[in-house]
Amino acid sequence: MKLLADSAVWLALYDRGDKFHARARHAFESLAEAKVTFIVTDYLVAEATTLIRGRVGHAPAVACGDWLLGSPRVRLVRIDLESWTEAWQLFKKYDDKEFSFVDCASFIVMRREHVVDALTFDRHFEQMGFRLWPRIK
């Protein structure tokens, strides 16, 4: 199973005060023994570590970044010029949505990598036709 792991989940996992912290912990605990590859982009690593540093501190941000960059369960996808250009076109197209540019880059990677599930608490992925994991209630 492949899951795109969004920055919102990493932030919730490292920030005990985040409203989704318990759900993020539960999600990772339930996936601990599963054969899951977490797909992350270089943009998601940058976004997650920046958000964690701002809310929780430098050491947790480094711990998250080191895990994302070093775990055999994580596949890092770099945003190349073609993906960047497609993401920019998508970003411009959806002026009625609140997609971030990082979201749009993630959508492009998910399509290219044939990933249908996003580990996230962000409904924007669902708006683009992807499945949210875990389900948001």
- Tokens in use for 17? 């005060």
The answer to whether residues 38 and 73 touch, using CB atoms and an 8 Å cutoff, is: yes
Beta bridge partners of 131: 117
Question: Which residue type sits at 14?
Answer: Y
Query: Residue 115 burial (CB < 10 Å; 0-12/13-18/19+)?
Result: buried
Question: Which residue type sits at 10?
Answer: W
Q: Which of 84, 83, 60 has its CA nearest to residue 10?
A: 60
In the chain, what are the domain boundaries? 2-133
> What confidence tier does 91 reach under pLDDT thresholds 50, 70, 90?
very high
Q: Which of 52, 53, 38 has its CA nearest to residue 6?
A: 38
Model pLDDT, residue 117: 96
Higher per-residue confidence, 135 vs 137: 135
pLDDT tens, residue by residue, 7-45: 999 999 999 999 999 999 999 998 888 889 999 999 999
Report CA Rg, the chain: 14
Put the strands of the sheet holding 131-133 in their side by side order.
Answer: 74-77, 37-41, 2-5, 117-119, 131-133
Q: Rounded distance, CA 89 to CA 114, Å? A: 20
Superfamily of domain 2-133: 5'-nuclease (3.40.50.1010)
pLDDT at 137 over 80: no
The whole-angstrom distance between residue 53's C-alpha and the CA centroid of its chain comes to: 16
